[in-house]
Homo-oligomer: A and B are copies of this chain.
Amino acid sequence: MKPTATRERILDAAERLFAERGYDGASLRAITGQARVNLAAVNYHFRSKRALMRAVFARRLEPLNQKRLALLETCMAARANGPPDLERLVEALVAPAFRMGEQSTGDAAALRKFMGWVLVDPGVQIERVLAEQFHEVALHFVAAFRRALPDLPPEELFWRIHFSIGAMASVLTGAPFLKIASGGRLDTSDVDGVVQRLVAYISGGLRAPLASGRRRRRGPPGGSGAS
């Protein structure tokens, strides 16, 4: 077997099994079994299971973010003067995540699930990897969104980006509540259609008018704002 092939096989199998069973649910035995590789190979090529996890994630995140930046450049170039088109911007952020792995050997659906799962699960603790690889992309997109939505206060924009990634991630993972609300009538296999809907939804959310000052438990008219 080609020396470097082992490493890739482990990454492929780990990706699939992490997606299917979660971090704890995917044992190294299962991973090495599916990769048809020796159990000890994991601890040789990677240092530990957690390190393997981070490697699986990092391998996908880098090209994903490059794709995003490339699309972002296109958006900005198309509107050299004036604000960029918001829908295109959102698409540049969202679509690459749904196109991942389409031409690789692995299971594209599993890959999407894995990525969404990693984004949402606070227990995975890939913040470091995420922060390193995502920081540049975040900066560029935040700047672009600011130009597209100049009236939105920065703090509000951050929150809305957060909501948007959450909406995207829940679709990637295949969260279970979808089939309940719809009675199972939704077609999740039409990736293009989902991306299109998601882009429309997120753009609408980003463009929403600012909430009026209504607060729950607002102070009475006399204005005793202390709390």
Contacts of A146-185 to chain B: CB distance below 8 A: 155-156, 158-171, 173-182, 185
A14 at interface, CB cutoff 8 A: no
Tally of contact residues, A, Cβ under 8 A: 76
Is B177 touching A162 in the complex (CB atoms < 8 A)? yes
Q: Which residues from chain B contact A214 at a C-beta distance below 8 Å?
A: 196
Compute how far the CA of A22 lies from the CA of B223 in the bound complex, rounded to whole angstroms: 40
Which residue, of A182, A206, A227, has the highest number of chain B Cβ atoms within 10 A? A182
Least distance between A7 CB and chain B CB atoms (Å): 24
Let me know if A200 and B192 touch, CB within 8 A: no
Binding site secondary structure of chain A: helix
Determine which of B175, B192, B203 lies in contact with A166 in the assembled complex, contact meaning CB atoms within 8 Å: B175
1/0 per position for A181-197, CB-CB distance to B under 8 A? 11001100000101111
Which residues of the partner chain B approach A209 to less than 8 Å between Cβ atoms?
200, 204
A110-144 toward B: CB 8 Å interface, digit per residue (1/0)? Answer: 00010001011111111100110011001000100
- A residues within 8 Å of B by Cβ? 21-25, 95, 103, 113, 117, 119-127, 130-131, 134-135, 138, 142, 155-156, 158-171, 173-182, 185-186, 192, 194-211, 214-217, 227
Say yes or no: A216-B192 contact (C-beta < 8 A), given A22-B24, A25-B123, A176-B127. Answer: yes
With A163-B170, A204-B206, A217-B192 known as contacts, the answer to whether A197 contacts B119 (CB < 8 A) is no
* A169-B175, A173-B120, A175-B119 as given contacts; A211 in contact with B200, CB under 8 Å: yes
Give complex CA distance A161, B170 in Å: 12
B119 adjacent to A177 (CB under 8 Å): yes
Whether A159 and B196, one on each chain, are in contact in the complex, defined by CB atoms closer than 8 angstroms, is no
